[in-house]
Amino acid sequence: MEDNILDPELLANRLLEEEEEFHHLNNPAESIKPIIKKYLGVPNHADQVGNKFYFTDGDAKVEVVVVTDQIIRIRLAPHGVFLEDFSYAVPKLPQKTASFTLYENEVEFKVSTDAVSCHIRKKDFFISFSDSDNNITSADATPMHWEENIKFGGYYVFCTKECHTEESFFGMGDKPTDFNLRGKRLKNWNTDAYSFAWNQDPLYRSIPFYISVNEGISHGIFFDNTFKAHFDFGAEDTTKTSFWSDGGELQYYYIHGPHMMDVVKNYHILTGTHPMPPLWALGYHQCRWSYYPEAKVKKITTGFRENKIPCDGIYLDIDYMDGYRCFTWNRKYFPDPKKMIKELADDGFKTVVIIDPGIRVDDNYSVFKEGKENKYFCRRSDDYFMEGHVWPGRCQFPDFTNPEVRDWWGGLFDELVQMGVAGVWNDMNEPAVFGAGTFPDDVRHQYDGHRGSHRKAHNIYGMQMVRATYEGLRKIMKNKRPFTITRAGYSGVQRYSSVWTGDNVASWEHLKLGNIQCQRLSISGISFCGTDIGGFSGEPDGELFTRWIQMGTFSPFMRAHSAGDTKEREPWSFGEPYTSINRKFIELRYRLLPYMYSAFWEHHRYGFPILRPAVMQEQQVTGNYFRQDEFTYGDKILICPVLEPGKPSRIVYLPKGKWYYWWNNELVDGGKELEVPTPLETIPVFVKAGSVIPEYPVMQYVGEKEIEEVKLNVYYSDYEANSFLFEDYGETFAYEQDIYLEKKFVVNGTKTSLTVQQSMEGLYTPRYESYAFNVVGLPFKPSKIKADGKTITNFKINSDKCLEFKLSKNFKVLEIMK
């Protein structure tokens, strides 16, 4: 054989044949097909590896992963090769036990759990989902498709689903538009949007998660793709809902309900919840661009104490720095920052400082020098450093997608923490660059070893910055909880930070927007949210500022903030009657801190959103699909802010059930709208019957007073209702070792009695010994009270017609009888 192969005549003939074969193709480029969208073909094969199922049309491949009984992940590989499985939003897929089965018949493949089925139609690769009652909840309108990206490599990826006539959509973070997203077309690309307007898009955060409600059944789609992404909720074609991105994988999670609450809780299983904040972070915060010098800071904090207006947080914006260099101090304005911070702390104020990502190019600046020597700054594709102008001038920017850089960055906070700084505010981290807007596309990132250009890393840059900040602070502060707040973020940012809605405007329109945005953020995984009270730019009058304080009282994060070219706006800046009303509402927030803190625990431990819109209360009531004013804080207190000037009353919708009006304890029936008076000193606040609302005494700051007893406001109901009270140290991570107390109250009433049962879980022991009961709405005159079989004789009916008495904090069964 070897002789034949080496035979010259055979070789010559073979070469001639190959040459003739080659010449059949005069132009090799003719064989290259034009770039067009390509669609999945006919699935002809299925493989199973554990909880992963693979389907192929011979070229493209689709992965179906059973995550839990309610969550199924879909991934598309256009030519059969998946990218490495990595996500900043979902650090680790839950290892929850799920029973699942693969079925096949002539029509389809079907992957089923006890709660949901994923159908892959054989004739065209359409993917759909159904519930255990065989209701189709989500279905492709076309097969998944893609288009090659010649310029950057990879693919544009597309998914289009059926959109039903009555289907409504919610979520997507803090988009500044109507709460119901039906008919909207939106984009995810983190953007510094100063003084943004109604319907302006995109803004600071990218949360590619939406909730669908159709025929009373809810499901969610989480499109975990960090590239610039687009969502169309029946805007271009009312029969179709689409989401697509400029790169990356087509990877999404189908999250089943059937209730919106179930969808949000399951989304939290994937992306996490906020850690418990320090209790002081739920107090009132005051901020401005900027409070300086030190004398000005002291004047503001003294103003709070002299006016007897509670406040816990004071913020220092960029002017506290030396030439806007991060981690430095302007010693002209703040000659002894450690001394100042201690004096503020002695007066009950926690100091929060701003830190931006831009590091000034200056070899005499230690942070820049370290970053440069260790190659921690972002580079462009041709190896030049990414440089841009922000507040310090010419800057370079750390690559926060590199874990080594994150460790370094976190360690830079050591000196600030030693000075007593209690919290850090990360700003400008979209990332924002003056003139250019943001980084060029060709900036490259380490991406935790998975590599990527800025097209891939842009939307997670801010999240990874605040991650580095939070993890660094947590390490330095040891067992003390850090407080962080970020302007930019991506899904999962809640594991590291609170947020605010960015540079809003002092207008009634923005008051309405802020109400919608906080509700939307809350159901999008980010419950620890708030607005710049009073508006960042522009000038509010006293009425607008006061109405904003009233709404902010019931925002999980409460902070007033304004730009440097505006008049000052502290709670007393507008004189009377505004000062007294603002004080009254800020005091109300401090009274309700144990309730708000408990709602935060329900979020952290169980995945409940803190703010809950009307549609989440009653998703079967289609009239609620377009309600966007009313919301509940937790599930017991309903708030309807006053969002227009000069309104003596407003219409409020109450969900079904019985509700007590907070201000006079009047009992009203829900399931309908009612007109509520709205003089400047009140807003509509209602408490659900059967609730137990814990209350602290008013304090000027968290920890000012030792809690000697907790007031329990018990609202009578003729049905059983549950309430929770969470207690712990309020500033440590001991709760992670079960050193907390979770109390459950069960209230049940008849025409002649009311019983309250208390049970407890956890290892924490609060210092106070007793409850002060305030029982509202008894339909009978009480004559006998028993606690754990012992009679209580010392009780009275107060001027508000409420029953008052005191009782040991450890009671188990309380009986109030006619």
Catalytic residue set: 427, 430, 503
Contacts with 800 (C-beta within 8 Å, 6 or more apart), sequence order: 665, 776
State how far the Cα of 587 lies from the Cα of 310, in Å rounded to an integer: 7
Number of H helices, E strands in the chain: 14, 54
State how far the Cα of 669 lies from the Cα of 803, in Å rounded to an integer: 22
Rg, Å, the chain Cα set: 30
110: how many CB neighbours lie within 10 A of its CB? 17
Show contacts of 571-580: CB within 8 Å, 24+ apart: 571/304, 571/307, 571/309, 572/303, 572/307, 572/309, 573/545, 574/541, 574/542, 574/545, 574/546, 575/542, 577/680, 577/681, 578/542, 578/543, 578/545, 578/546, 579/307, 579/309
Which helix H or strand E contains 688, and what residues bound it? strand 685-688
State how far the Cα of 782 lies from the Cα of 779, in Å rounded to an integer: 9
SS3 of 739, please? coil
DSSP code per residue over 394-453: EEE-B-TTSHHHHHHHHHTTHHHHHHT--EEEE-STTT-BTTTBS--TT-EE-GGGT-EE
Q: Which of 167, 199, 169, 170 is nearest to 520 (CA)?
A: 170
Contact (CB, 8 A) for 202 and 154: no
State how far the Cα of 82 lies from the Cα of 62, in Å rounded to an integer: 9
State how far the Cα of 311 lies from the Cα of 792, in Å rounded to an integer: 38
Contact (CB, 8 A) for 695 and 713: yes
Supply 66's token pair. Answer: 């059973």
State how far the Cα of 102 lies from the Cα of 86, in Å rounded to an integer: 26
Give burial (CB, 10 Å; 0-12/13-18/19+) of 1: exposed
Q: What is the end-to-end Cα distance of the chain in Å, rounded?
A: 110
State how far the Cα of 143 lies from the Cα of 250, in Å rounded to an integer: 12
Which helix H or strand E contains 639, and what residues bound it? strand 637-639
789: how many CB neighbours lie within 10 A of its CB? 8
Q: Sheet holding 611-613: strands in order across?
A: 611-613, 631-633, 637-639, 685-688, 658-661, 667-669
